[in-house]
Amino acid sequence: MFPYAVLSAVEAASLSTPMLTSLIDLLNKALYLGGVVLIVFGGVTVGTNLKDHNGPAITGGILQIGGGALVVACGVLLSTISLS
């Protein structure tokens, strides 16, 4: 019974490849968008706090920019996955 369940799971995965591909594409676009939004808001945070010389907030903005860059990098890494 177990090998049959594995075989049917493999068959189901091969049948739903277009759906899985579109899901990965959607996740990829969401990661790009989320990363860019984090980078923009981090830049705004750094810019507004530079004039006030607010050190902790500048650090938070720089970390937010770095986090956004990591999210975009995950989107790039996800786009390299091939399901064929």
Task: Answer yes or no: is 75 within a domain.
Answer: yes
CB 72 within 8 A of CB 31: yes
Q: pLDDT in tens for each of the 84 residues of the chain?
A: 555 555 555 555 555 678 888 888 999 999 999 999 999 999 999 999 998 999 999 999 999 999 999 999 999 998 888 776
Task: Answer yes or no: is 8 within a domain.
Answer: no
Is pTM beyond 0.85? Reply is: no
CB 39 within 8 A of CB 61: no
Task: Answer yes or no: is 15 within a domain.
Answer: no
- Number of structural domains found in the chain: 1
Secondary structure of residue 83 in the 3-state scheme: coil
CB 45 within 8 A of CB 60: yes
CB 39 within 8 A of CB 69: yes
Q: What is the pLDDT of residue 82?
A: 77
Task: Answer yes or no: is 84 within a domain.
Answer: yes
Tell me which residue range forms the domain holding 42. Answer: 28-84
